[in-house]
Amino acid sequence: MPRTLLAVFAHPDDDAYGIAGTVALHADDPEFRFVLVLATDGGAGDIREGFPATRETLGAVRQAEDAAAWRALGRVPERHEWLGYADGEVDRVPPEELIERIAAIMAEERPDVVATFGPDGIFGHPDHIAVGAATDAAFHRLAPGAERGFRRLCHGAVPKSVFDRWNEQRASMGLFVFDPTQMYHMRGVPDERIGIVVDCRPVADRIVAGLGEHRSQHHVMSDDPSDVERWKRVVSRESWVVTWPERPAGAPMLTDLFEGLD
Ligand SMILES: [Zn+2]
């Protein structure tokens, strides 16, 4: 039973948080095929004080960091497509163009599971929201009548209960707390909408090894990048909203993106 996963995100490092646990858990599965699409090279991101990159080179640096991150995790994508849009401007791409670009890859791969951002973009980032919406549209264009693949569409999410706990911890540590009404602040989704919770603790060290390769972004990824144990706790689970097919009320919580598709 092939297990093709198509993950569509906006920036290099979205993938390192968003899907790394699932990929690491399936790393040794011979039937697993991992296709990764990133819309931008992250070239408009922050450059850490003293980091050897310029505005001109950051995009290429971050592409290399992304490749290094998957190598460090121990499982590289079978296919990695960069859509090449300008970082921070994906929401200005004509929606039909973005949908067509993603749909073209989807039509070739016929993924069993598609993973992307939901309408909250996790951080309200317009690039995230645009990529997620276009991926959803491409999926719904191709799924009806498909002879194989297109069995599940998932949105990465932070459960509200986890969001609240993190914010409480942040407040107690004197760190800024996320205000979900603000752009670029984390948002939670109601816990009852979560359909899949992946226990990533067995591969947390591999996820953190990947995160560590995004060296130009350490300062925005973590309040204390040297605190490996804290990073491991943060990545200890992936939570997903199953957007399609709709999850019946009271359905049992799944523990893997592919569970129940055999
Ligand atoms: Zn991002």
CA of 184 to the centre of ligand 1 (A): 9
- pLDDT tens-digit series, residues 24-64: 999 999 999 999 999 999 999 989 888 999 999 999 999 99
CA of 10 to the centre of ligand 1 (A): 5
CA of 25 to the centre of ligand 1 (A): 23
The kind and range of the H/E element at 104 are helix 95-109
Does the structure show a pLDDT above 90 at 73? Answer: yes
In terms of Cβ atoms closer than 10 Å to its own Cβ (0-12, 13-18, 19+), residue 190 is: exposed
152: its two tokens: 């599940």
Q: What is the pLDDT of residue 56?
A: 95
Q: Answer for the pair 2, 20: CB distance below 8 angstroms, yes or no.
A: no
CA of 201 to the centre of ligand 1 (A): 23
- pLDDT tens-digit series, residues 164-219: 999 999 999 999 999 999 999 999 999 999 999 999 999 999 999 999 999 999 88
The CA distance from 82 to 39, in Å, is 6
The kind and range of the H/E element at 242 are strand 237-244
Taking the model in full, what pTM does it have?
A: 0.96
CA of 123 to the centre of ligand 1 (A): 8
- pLDDT tens-digit series, residues 38-48: 999 999 998 98
The CA distance from 54 to 52, in Å, is 7
The CA distance from 180 to 194, in Å, is 18
CA of 122 to the centre of ligand 1 (A): 9
- pLDDT tens-digit series, residues 82-133: 999 999 999 999 999 999 999 999 999 999 999 999 999 999 999 999 999 9
Q: Which of these, 85, 5, 95, lies nearest to 42 by C-alpha position?
A: 85
Residue with tokens 């990929």: 23
**Cα 69 to chain centroid, rounded:** 14
Does the structure show a pLDDT above 90 at 72? Answer: yes
CA of 29 to the centre of ligand 1 (A): 28
Does the structure show a pLDDT above 90 at 247? Answer: no
Q: What is the pLDDT of residue 220?
A: 85
CA of 141 to the centre of ligand 1 (A): 25
CA of 121 to the centre of ligand 1 (A): 8
Q: What is the pLDDT of residue 82?
A: 98
Mean pLDDT of the chain: 95
The CA distance from 206 to 130, in Å, is 29
Residues 6+ away with beta carbon under 8 Å from 22: 5, 115, 198, 200, 238, 256, 257
Q: Which amino acid is at 25?
A: L
The kind and range of the H/E element at 161 are helix 160-172
